[in-house]
Structure 1
Amino acid sequence: MKPYLSVFFFILFSCVALTANAAHKPKNNSAVKDKGANSTVNTAEVCADDILYFAETLIGTRYRTAAANPLYGFDCSGFVSYVFKNFNFAVPRSSCEFISVGEKIKLEDALPGDIILFTGTSKKSRRIGHIGILVSNQNSEVTFIHSTSGKEHGVTITAMDDRYKRRFVQIIRLLKQNDEPQTATL
């Protein structure tokens, strides 16, 4: 009877995994196509709203070290790479490798969808150890979505407080639409 249970749980787990992956695809997104064998996504057409909408569907997913799967959890770089890879961006898996991708942007010029890099929690090291995706940057108030091992212990949106300001390293821009001049709206 035990072999049948193993097969049953394997099939059950496979169905749950397929359902979870389908649930995390963006809805009503004309710029993003299903990633079938013959389809491609033009990353130049992906906008910050697409990225943030998808990222926000993952809020509440638990933190798990070295994980990049919504079924198990995310560490910070696993979360960011999972979100951007969903839109066919070629991004690294490790947070420290993000410093060498995209375009470096000043914090005051950062826009939603840009990637924000921080040091780790060690005060002795300036090595990149945490990353997130910028949600808002208005009136010197920065918020970002990330997977944290802190008290939220998962994917959440956080305001950049003094603790994060001390750890801030760089903003990285991958979204081509963020390079276009911004117009003020009234």
Structure 2
Amino acid sequence: MSYKPRSIRLLLSTFLLTLLLSQCAAKSPSGMTFKHPVLKRPPIHRVGGDKKAQTAHDELVADLIDTGKELLGKPYGYRGNLPWRMDCSGFVSYVYSRYGITVPRGSATQANYVKRIKREEVLPGDLLFFKGRNRNSGRVGHVAMVIDVVDGDLVMMHSTNSRGIIIERLSRSAYFSSRYLSAGRVPEMNKLIEEGTVMVPVPTLSPIAPNHQINPIDIDRENLLPEIPIAAPKQWRR
């Protein structure tokens, strides 16, 4: 049986086309498209003391302070896209709520809710309570959140009537220094300190190399997450 050159070229073209289509089908079965794996924040669990990891308390406090700083300069009573007005107690309640911790509204209510601590025991994240406009009343009328302690001087962040949300040292404010009443710690924060635990990522399999075990200490968890809008609740896992 003999073939003409034209027939041979046609057969070769058909064979090559069939081979090419079969290879494409093997690379992408059923028309599926593939995407690069998305890295997510590793899960967290509790372990015993570890110098390489931050304590759970310190890590949470740093997040609380960063959240509060997002609102610096906002006027007293500011609401915007926030769930409630930013008066002094509303500011504290909002900052803690971003991490799943419920702190009731009202400075007097908050003073009764927290665990009372001595002034020299105050740590960042704790709350300070002051008299209101009537300095002789003895009743709680204002609250602030401590963000630092510098040589015994308390640095606080709070929502004020005249200047909005600000940061200032207690010792440099004659108004609030003369109205200081007490200090307290939110129950969840107190529990973290008493337990003395640390939080590190659980070792997980890499989505890129399934047989590669990730070292949990080397993971920068904050850089694995996109920024969260101010109105969206953040999740803090214990």
Regarding TM over 0.5, the answer is yes
Counterpart residue identity of residue 166, structure 2: T
Q: Deviations over 1:4-36 (max 9, x none)?
A: xxxxxxxxxxxxxxxxxxxxxxxx8987xxxxx
1:155 aligns with 2:165: yes
Matching of residues 1-186 of structure 1 within 5 Å: 47-64=60-77, 70=82, 73-150=85-162, 152=163, 154-160=164-170, 161-174=173-186, 175=189, 176-179=191-194
CA change 1:165–1:71 in 2 (3 A) is same
1:14 is aligned to none
Measure the CA separation in 2 of the matches of 1:69 and 1:115: 25
CA contact (8 A) 1:133 1:146 kept: yes
Segments of 5+ residues of structure 1 without an aligned counterpart are: 1-27, 32-42, 182-186
1:16 is aligned to none
CA contact (8 A) 2:57 2:193 kept: no
Q: Deviations over 1:146-178 (max 9, x none)?
A: 01012x2x1110211332122111111121334
Measure the CA separation in 2 of the matches of 1:164 and 1:115: 14
Instruction: Give the number of the structure whose alpha-carbon radius of gyration is greater.
Output: 2
Count how many residue pairs are aligned between Structure 1 and Structure 2: 140
Measure the CA separation in 2 of the matches of 1:95 and 1:29: 37
Structure with higher RCO (Cα < 8 A, 6+ apart): 2
Segments of 5+ residues of structure 2 without an aligned counterpart are: 1-40, 45-55, 197-238
Q: What's the CA shift for 1:70?
A: 4.0
2:232 is aligned to none
1:184 is aligned to none
2:214 is aligned to none
TM-score (norm 1): 0.65
Specify the SS of the correspondent of 1:61. coil
Q: What's the CA shift for 1:114?
A: 0.5
